[in-house]
Structure 1
């Protein structure tokens, strides 16, 4: 299956046309090659007039927060599930993602993902087929992923930091399947937020001991050994293989720290 899910509904002969979303705007062909909003913001040329660009970006950023807050404020209990967009449908981890989505819904939780293909699609599919709320938070990228077909409630973002806020603000924990840089980014940011007490009682469970084990060995044998983190920081994360155990752990931690 092609990762460019957003192109599936194009007319015959146009399937190879590049397509990319910029917030609510869909760009195709040459327009899809334009610079991403995050890059405009973070990689500005010195000669770019500040008064003609950044104030408008502030308003656009504000609108993304308003849209996200307004849409998700009544979501209820939810868990964010992360994992690679490149996970194929015949991968064992895809099946694990489906099971995680199903089990979370059966426990009364909504499922939030990045809305793309791969592991994200798997978790959304499990949640949707179980009759629960399946949420996707998409992002503008240089290649189009599109919102997978199992998303019931989808929001497309221009800016990573606005999107990342929604993953944490409206979830009570993270379940993390194997993934690449994007997954690692979300994982380490969540760990940092808990470590620095920016958020509290936020359980994080990694699924796939063979996949995550070498990374966690490095955390223990290099970061901890060199005094870069403390012993208690190792308890921020659980490593498991069984999806039922992952859901049990993330929900147990959530329940243990929930208010009366």
Structure 2
């Protein structure tokens, strides 16, 4: 009987049974309230939001260079997509990258699992409070639970040097297009976005080309922000080459500064 009780993660806490609230922290934050209710509630929420940022920054500050892998939580463990996710996690770890996922099942579990199969591989899960149960998968070495989506998304971007998206649903699309927007607007730079699975992503990419680019909603060069591949090795190579180019640019900038300082006045 007790095994069937409802369960929900709330930040660092787990609540079960009758203690599970009817709404999540995000729902309550975004809810429209009475004229003066927000005065008494939202300022205090800011402290909790601040605490989530501090916790995330503190836990992830010493993480090695990392890649975030997105994909569906509903992917079966015996599917081709799960196999690809596992191979991808393993290949990223072998290339020296930590693997960050949302910490859930499906593709996320697959990528985390692949990373743990490599000696020295680092597997990270950034979980989120949801109105339905979704536990942290068993292949996460470092797991952090968040109440607020926007805090979690900040951690995905701040501590990653690239995104790889496998087939997924609304959550994957949300994260994908937010990443593309940040790159397009130069909020993040030298940040490759790779879509794995040409059959799955092909229709979306055709729509982006015809409806967004074709009608002037985005510029033609914005299409270069996305790479579609079915090859795990190519996906990892794209990330690795981007990191190498970024390191070279940083060295060139530092050399330029040193040269300017050394010039006689």
TM class by shorter chain equals over 0.9
Q: Does 1:149 align with 2:121?
A: no
SS in 1 for 2:125: strand
**Aligned mate of 2:196, from 207, 212, 215:** 207
Q: Does 1:245 align with 2:245?
A: no
| Structure 1 position 47, deviation (Å) | 4.9
Instruction: Tell me which residue corresponds to 1:166.
Output: 155
Q: Does 1:193 align with 2:194?
A: no
**Aligned mate of 1:27, from 10, 15, 35:** 15
| Structure 1 position 129, deviation (Å) | 1.3
Q: Does 1:92 align with 2:80?
A: yes
Q: Does 1:255 align with 2:248?
A: no
- How many residue pairs align between the two structures? 248
SS in 2 for 1:89: coil
Whether the 8 Å CA contact 1:175–1:250 is kept in 2: the answer is: no
**C-alpha separation in 2, matches of 1:209 and 1:51:** 49
- What TM-score results when the alignment is normalised by the length of structure 1? 0.93
What do residues 5-33 of structure 1 show as CA deviations (whole Å, max 9, x unaligned)? xxxxxxxx333211111111212123224
**C-alpha separation in 2, matches of 1:15 and 1:176:** 34
Instruction: Tell me which residue corresponds to 2:29.
Output: 41
RMSD over aligned Cα atoms = 1.1
**C-alpha separation in 2, matches of 1:59 and 1:150:** 31
What do residues 148-178 of structure 1 show as CA deviations (whole Å, max 9, x unaligned)? 0000001000000000000000000001100
Q: Does 1:16 align with 2:4?
A: yes
Structure with the greater alpha carbon radius of gyration: 2
SS in 1 for 2:14: strand
**C-alpha separation in 1, matches of 2:76 and 2:224:** 31
**C-alpha separation in 2, matches of 1:15 and 1:237:** 44
**C-alpha separation in 2, matches of 1:23 and 1:184:** 24
SS in 2 for 1:15: helix
Structure 2: runs of 5 or more not aligned = 252-265
Structure 1: runs of 5 or more not aligned = 1-12
Instruction: Tell me which residue corresponds to 2:69.
Output: 81
- Structure holding more helix per residue: 2
| Structure 1 position 252, deviation (Å) | 1.4
Instruction: Tell me which residue corresponds to 2:42.
Output: 54
Closer, same or farther in 2 for the Cα pair 1:201/1:31, shift >3 Å? same
**C-alpha separation in 1, matches of 2:51 and 2:174:** 24
- What TM-score results when the alignment is normalised by the length of structure 2? 0.91
